[in-house]
Amino acid sequence: MARNKLAALDKKLLKRELVVTNRTAPGVTKRGTIDLISFSCNDYLGLSQHPEVIRSAKDATELLGAGAGASRHITGNHALYQDLESKLASLKNTEDAVVFGSGYLANIGTIPALVSEPDLIIMDEACHASLHAGVRLARSRIISFSHNDESNVIALLKKHRDKHRYCLLLTEGVFSMDGDRAPISKLLEIATEYDAWLMTDDAHGLGVVGGGRGSNVEANKTIPVPLQMGTLSKSIGTYGGYLCANRTVTNLIRNRARSLIYTTGLPPGTVAAATKALEIIMSDERLVKKPLDNAQLFTEILGLPSAQSAIVPLQIGSSERVLKLSKILQKKGYLVVAIRPPTVPEGTARLRCTFSAAHRKEDVEAFASTLKKALGA
């Protein structure tokens, strides 16, 4: 059975192989003996290799050990969690925050804790796989709306909202495969009008847009999104996930989210490193501005619509073509991983280019020039 399934994937050029990749310096990866400038990493601010972040991880590990030892409800809720959750809530302008073991765990734990069979979930069709996993576990009625289509959201709520007890409206703040931003303020207005909770997945917004505060900030104005989920593994550069919300919600999550209750706590070093990274994000305006500046320089050179985030997708179409382009770029010294179905819809395989504060202007310009030539090959 497994052999047949793998053969079917291979035939469609959808079989994946894990490749040893060492990130030796900010913006640089090593595959085998070859150094590559990476335009595929989500470490948008280079904080995973920031000396202060690394030092914080070392100090906490020496003080409290390499692991948490148990779930947070047993003995794994070490003293460093409180500071991290407080800083997350402050950055996101909420009363409280809950830290999970990963962003995936945050989504599959939060959604079923809030809604269940009698309820309705309206979600953007382009939402991340972890959101889809969470809504399936909730066993609510699930309806997808056309990507970033506010009028479709209103039409669906008009038709279905009054038939269900509670309603959750789900979107990403910055879409991980498309790089565009959701109309958060408008979606919050719609959710409020139809008595729904708005939940945003801000994994790719925090640290990059809204002055580093994320997609709940538009034109320097904070939008009071009630449920803000995200990760500690992208701009923050460490590992973990979180939900920022009011204290009533966070208390419910601590009591009902199975992926929090039945998972070992994060290592002290990871939590301390994330806390230090947050402090840097909150204080270094120049750093958080760089990824978007680099992405917009790239789109300007290529004559594309101006980047809305650190992610710029180049939709190629076929898996065969996108794999060929990725290999061409690697031979030229650039790592840009090919993104294929089922991560993206059939016929939309793409090069997902990501930009970080570690990229120099000349790196971006040279990459854009090389990519132009590769696209013409």
Domains and CATH numbers, the chain: 13-42+285-375 (3.90.1150.10), 51-283 (3.40.640.10)
- Whether 276 and 53 have beta carbons less than 8 Å apart is answered as yes
User: 259 pLDDT band (50/70/90 cuts)?
Assistant: very high
C-beta atoms surrounding 193 within 10 Å = 11
User: Is the model's pLDDT at 184 over the cut of 60?
Assistant: yes
Catalytic: 73?
no
The span from the first CA to the last CA of the chain, in angstroms, equals: 39
Query: What one-character DSSP code corresponds to residue 71?
Result: B
Q: What is the mean pLDDT of residues 8-30?
A: 80
Which one from 50, 87, 92, 234 is the annotated catalytic residue? 234
- Strand partners of residue 177: none
Catalytic: 172?
yes
Which one from 172, 178, 202, 363 is the annotated catalytic residue? 172
- Strand partners of residue 354: 311
147: left (phi over 0), alpha (psi -120 to 50) or beta: beta
Catalytic: 78?
no
**CA proximity to 264, closest of 57, 64, 69, 109:** 69
Which one from 78, 92, 204, 359 is the annotated catalytic residue? 204
């460093």: which residue's tokens? 80
pLDDT of residue 239: 98
- Strand partners of residue 244: 97, 228
User: Is the model's pLDDT at 105 over the cut of 90?
Assistant: yes
Which one from 78, 87, 92, 128 is the annotated catalytic residue? 128
pLDDT of residue 11: 78
In degrees, rounded to 5, the angle at the alpha carbon of residue 107 between the alpha carbons of residues 101 and 109 is 75
pLDDT of residue 219: 87
pLDDT of residue 2: 86
pLDDT of residue 361: 96
Catalytic: 356?
no
Which one from 42, 107, 140, 356 is the annotated catalytic residue? 42
pLDDT digits (tens, 9 = 90+) for 196-255: 999 999 999 999 999 999 999 998 899 999 999 999 999 999 999 999 999 999 999 999
Which one from 38, 176, 215, 356 is the annotated catalytic residue? 176
DSSP β-ladder status, 22-25 and 28-31 = antiparallel
User: 4 pLDDT band (50/70/90 cuts)?
Assistant: confident
